Amino acid sequence: MVDSLSVWLVLPLGIALGWYMRGRGSESPQAADGSAATPETLAGMNHLVNDDPDQAVASLLRATELDSHAVELHLTLGVLFRKRGEVDRALRIHEALAERGQLSTDQMERTRFELGQDYLKAGMIDRAEELFEQLSHRGLYATPALEALISVHEQSREWRRAIEASRRLTAVGAQPRQLQIAQYYCELADQAKAAKDAGEAQRLAQRALEEDAGCVRANLILARLQEDAGDARAAIRSLREVPDQDIRFVPEIVEPLLRCSQTAGQIDEFLEFLRDIDDETSTSASVIAQARLMRDNGVNPQSYLAESFTASPSWTLLDQLMQAVDLPTDETMAAALTSLRDALKTASAGRARYRCTSCGLGPGLLFWQCPSCKQWGSVIPADDKLVPAKG
Ligand SMILES: [Zn+2]
């Protein structure tokens, strides 16, 4: 059986068709301006209603005359085909329309914009980019074309071009995109670091901070570069900036801060710094770090962790506590504790470590651009608290 015209097509088609006929005069295919609805257009609609989209497209493309309503109908159908994933049909309609000499400037720009979207969807990135680039310089579609260009450059990881298009977008009146531009500089810094150009990577991370002083990622990159270069004190300074930028990222700095503080002989300052943060966030960062230091010095932090967990229960503290508890000598008790540890490990592994504040995705890794909703800087460390059930 032929794929029936499902609701997605019938409803908008009905609207487009009704609108088209209204524009033409509802009693007959005679237009208000006296011109007749072309037989090809009517035949195209007939094929659509009879569930034969290929014939419908062929009929529409044969239409020799196009008034503004017919152009609108072509565009609407093209977009519908693309949204349904039938990009080849969308492309045929939009390409044929773009070749018409009788379109107004606005209609031609819209057609070319839709064509660009088709190319993008079909994976023909170069052709999409070329069209969006042409449209981005002037006209009604300058803003959406620049937005589309940015998306193209992000997909191709052309960060400098994404920066340039972002600046142009702001210049045509869109909201400033400092946050995104800072992320692009961070991407460039990562590329420079991967190419073993630490100096350039550091310069680019600094550039990211100039764009967006709240860019946590830039300080994390800087700290890593400084630590790799053997400058633990500079790395500590960069890491200490993070809580002021975004207190939710504290869990990301504990490990590197501990490492660098040990190297620089600044453990007391480190603990004091984390204690101050704990007062603000209840992240338990200082407790975890203290327990880690106790372990390094051969002291079991069991009692200390139990006390801290009771005061402020969190998944991380529970996990640490369970690992620190001595196995009882009683075999049954020891087996029970081992099972409990394993169960907790499984539950903890299934828990999302991060959360996207924009779409709610719970990834296991820290992404600077959400893989689902494509927002920059929306993924943050997930709340670690164990909230007691109420009622
Ligand atoms: Zn998201």
Report how far ligand 1's centroid is from the alpha carbon of 175 (Å): 20
Q: Which residues contact 377 (CB under 8 A, 6 or more apart)?
A: 179, 183, 215, 216, 217, 368
Stretch (H or E) spanning 331: helix 331-349
Indicate the pTM of the whole model: 0.78
Q: How far apart are the C-alpha atoms of 380 and 355, rounded to whole Å? A: 6
From the CA of 367, how far away is ligand 1's center (Å)? 10
Cα-to-centroid distance, 378 and ligand 1 (Å): 7
Give, for 208, the enclosing helix (H) or strand (E): helix 198-211
Q: Where does 273-374 show beta strands of DSSP type E?
A: 354-356
- CA of residue 49 relative to chain centroid, distance: 39
Q: Could you please report the per-residue DSSP string of 54-115?
A: HHHHHHHHH-----HHHHHHHHHHHHHHHHTT-HHHHHHHHHHHHT-S---HHHHHHHHHHH
Task: Report CA(372)–ligand 1 centroid distance (Å).
Answer: 5
CA 360 to ligand 1 centroid distance, Å: 6
Ligand 1 centroid–CA 15 distance in Å is 33
CA of 144 to the centre of ligand 1 (A): 21
178 CA distance to ligand 1 centroid (A)?
19
For residue 365, how far is its CA from the centre of ligand 1 (angstroms)? Answer: 13
Q: What is the pLDDT along the chain (391 residues), one digit of tens a residue?
A: 344 445 555 555 655 555 555 555 444 444 444 444 566 666 666 666 566 677 777 766 666 567 778 888 888 889 988 998 999 999 999 998 998 878 899 999 999 999 999 999 999 999 999 999 999 998 889 999 999 999 999 999 999 999 999 999 999 988 999 999 999 999 999 999 999 999 999 999 999 999 999 999 999 999 999 999 999 999 999 999 999 999 999 989 999 999 999 999 999 999 888 888 877 776 677 788 888 888 888 888 888 899 888 888 888 888 888 888 888 888 898 898 888 888 888 887 777 889 999 999 999 899 999 999 999 999 999 887 776 544 4
Closest CA to 111 of 122, 120, 99, 123: 99
Q: Where are the beta strands (DSSP E) in the chain?
A: 354-356, 379-381
Q: What are phi and psi of 36, to 5 degrees?
A: -90, 145
In whole angstroms, give the CA distance from residue 381 to residue 362: 10
Neighbour-count burial of 15, counting CB atoms closer than 10 A to its CB (0-12 exposed, 13-18 middle, 19+ buried):
exposed
Q: Which residue has the tokens 């200390």?
A: 304
Ligand 1: distance of its center to the CA of 370 in Å?
5
Q: Per-residue DSSP letters for 210-260? A: HH-TT-HHHHHHHHHHHHHTT-HHHHHHHHHHHHHH-GGGHHHHHHHHHHH
Q: Which of 317, 258, 316, 248 is nearest to 281 (CA)?
A: 248
Q: How many whole angstroms from 375 Cα to the centroid of ligand 1?
A: 6
8 in Cβ contact with 53 (< 8 Å): no
